[in-house]
Amino acid sequence: MLVVHSIKEVKDAVSAWRKEGLTVGLVPTMGYLHEGHASLVKKSSDENDRVVVSVFVNPIQFGPNEDYDKYPRDIESDSKLVEAAGGNLIFNPLNEEMYAPDFSSFVDTAGVTEGLCGAKRPGHFRGVCTVVTKLFNIVCPDRAYFGEKDAQQLAVIKRIVRDLNIPVEIRPCPIIREQDGLAKSSRNTYLNDRERKAALVLSRSLNKAHNAIEKGERNSDKLKAVITEEILNEPLAKIDYVEISDSLSLKPVDSIKKSVLVAIAVYIGKTRLIDNFTFEIK
Ligand code: AMP
């Protein structure tokens, strides 16, 4: 397992594999990897001959008051995890390798970026679309792997791939959780003991809504109230959004028909966490 820092090294490795007729999977990440990321690498390794994992804290997807500077980084532990999960190459570029000083070209999409995190984090998805498009062009993978943990990101990437005819197959991967239900996230390391316990309110409130849908509740406002009430009972939690949307368009829905995304973003202290589930009415 190799860690490389330049685009040329990635291209050389991939073109050597291509000469052997091998298939290539890509797993884009920001590093500080955990079992959620490992599940993506494993799936990619099951489905492709070779796996590239990018580890890059992408500055252009962070807002001015967000956690870019303090985002956790540990490339040594990341390389061990990637190797154990079956990855073959880590691409860990410096900002200068990805962004020329006069960089001025961006990829963006409308509609699916308007609500949820897109509304709360202006410019975030433009940064994501741009870096992921660059990674697609650098690696030219057969398949790329994204977690359902970032449901809107997944929808956004599927949309640019479809709209711009990017020749890659997008493979969604289920949310990996801690035993007590908290969705694994590199940002969980920001939480102190009290906040870690309080953070369970995300999965707990979503479970309540899930149960309510299973029992037949179809009204979005009532379901959002179930979630909101649970979160308001947790003193360390502050709601950023609670939304129920069509899972393809991500437009808010008044009542549950077909497939919906129930998504929340909640501050636990200063740490913003997200979680979601998708429900399909059969
Ligand atoms: P990040 O490093 O947070 O940008 O995440 C990189 C990729 O890993 C994204 O596609 C995420 O959706 C995915 N991912 C992060 N956490 C999880 C998780 N708990 N379960 C599944 N996928 C995850």
Are residues 47 and 163 located together in one domain of the fold?
yes
List all residues 6 or more positions away from 88 whose beta carbon is below 8 Å from its beta carbon: 1, 2, 50, 51, 52
Q: How far is the CA of 40 from the centre of ligand 1 (A)?
A: 8
Are residues 127 and 59 located together in one domain of the fold?
yes
Q: What is the CATH number of the domain that holds 73?
A: 3.40.50.620
201-229 per-position pLDDT tens digit: 999 999 999 999 999 999 999 999 999 99
161-193 per-position pLDDT tens digit: 999 999 999 999 999 999 999 999 999 999 999
Are residues 201 and 167 located together in one domain of the fold?
no
Q: Which residue among 39, 77, 136, 149 has the greatest number of ligand 1 atoms within 8 angstroms of its CB, and so is best to mutate?
A: 149
Residue with tokens 């006069």: 102
Range of the domain at 197: 186-279
Are residues 217 and 118 located together in one domain of the fold?
no
Among the options 5, 34, 37, 210, which is catalytic?
37
pLDDT at position 184 is: 98
Structural domain ending residue among the three candidates 109, 139, 173: 173
Residue 37 is a catalytic residue: yes
Could you give the number of structural domains in the chain? 2
Percent of the chain with pLDDT over 90: 99
Q: Which atom of ligand 1 is nearest to the CA of 27?
A: 7
Q: How far is the CA of 136 from the centre of ligand 1 (A)?
A: 17
Q: How far is the CA of 150 from the centre of ligand 1 (A)?
A: 7
Q: How far is the CA of 217 from the centre of ligand 1 (A)?
A: 30
Are residues 195 and 127 located together in one domain of the fold?
no
pTM above 0.85, yes or no: yes
Q: Which atom of ligand 1 is nearest to the CA of 149?
A: 12
pLDDT at position 191 is: 98
Q: How far is the CA of 149 from the centre of ligand 1 (A)?
A: 6
In a domain? residue 180: no
Are residues 247 and 136 located together in one domain of the fold?
no
pLDDT at position 168 is: 99
Structural domain ending residue among the three candidates 111, 140, 173: 173
| 143 C-beta closer than 6 A to ligand 1 | no
Q: Measure the CA–CA gap between 206 and 197, rounded to whole angstroms.
A: 16
Q: Is 158 exposed, middle or buried (0-12, 13-18, 19+ CB in 10 A)?
A: middle
Q: Which two tokens stand for residue 74?
A: 């540990």
Q: Measure the CA–CA gap between 263 and 275, rounded to whole angstroms.
A: 6
116-149 per-position pLDDT tens digit: 999 999 999 999 999 999 999 999 999 999 999 9
Closest CA to 261 of 269, 270, 250, 271: 250
Average of per-residue pLDDT values in the chain: 98
pLDDT at position 132 is: 99
Instruction: Give, using CA atoms, the residue closest to atom 17 of ligand 1.
Output: 36
Q: Give me the mean pLDDT over the 236-244 stretch.
A: 98
pLDDT at position 282 is: 83
Are residues 60 and 200 located together in one domain of the fold?
no
66-106 per-position pLDDT tens digit: 999 999 999 999 999 999 999 999 999 999 999 999 999 99
Are residues 219 and 132 located together in one domain of the fold?
no
| 30 C-beta closer than 6 A to ligand 1 | yes
Q: What is the CATH number of the domain that holds 222?
A: 3.30.1300.10
Q: Which atom of ligand 1 is nearest to the CA of 176?
A: 20
Percent of the chain with pLDDT over 70: 100
pLDDT at position 18 is: 98
In a domain? residue 266: yes
Instruction: Give, using CA atoms, the residue closest to atom 7 of ligand 1.
Output: 29
248-270 per-position pLDDT tens digit: 999 999 999 889 999 999 999 99
Q: Measure the CA–CA gap between 182 and 81, rounded to whole angstroms.
A: 20
| 42 C-beta closer than 6 A to ligand 1 | no
End-to-end CA distance of the chain: 44
In a domain? residue 92: yes
Structural domain ending residue among the three candidates 133, 151, 173: 173
Written as one letter, the residue type at 37 is H
Contacts 24+ apart (CB under 8 A), 173-178: 173/39, 173/40, 173/43, 173/145, 173/146, 173/147, 173/148, 174/39, 174/147, 174/148, 175/36, 175/147, 175/148, 175/149, 175/275, 175/276, 176/34, 176/35, 176/36, 176/39, 176/147, 176/149, 177/203
Are residues 78 and 8 located together in one domain of the fold?
yes
| 85 C-beta closer than 6 A to ligand 1 | no
Are residues 88 and 205 located together in one domain of the fold?
no
In a domain? residue 90: yes
Are residues 212 and 255 located together in one domain of the fold?
yes
Are residues 164 and 59 located together in one domain of the fold?
yes
| 36 C-beta closer than 6 A to ligand 1 | yes
| 185 C-beta closer than 6 A to ligand 1 | yes
Closest CA to 175 of 62, 85, 51, 263: 263
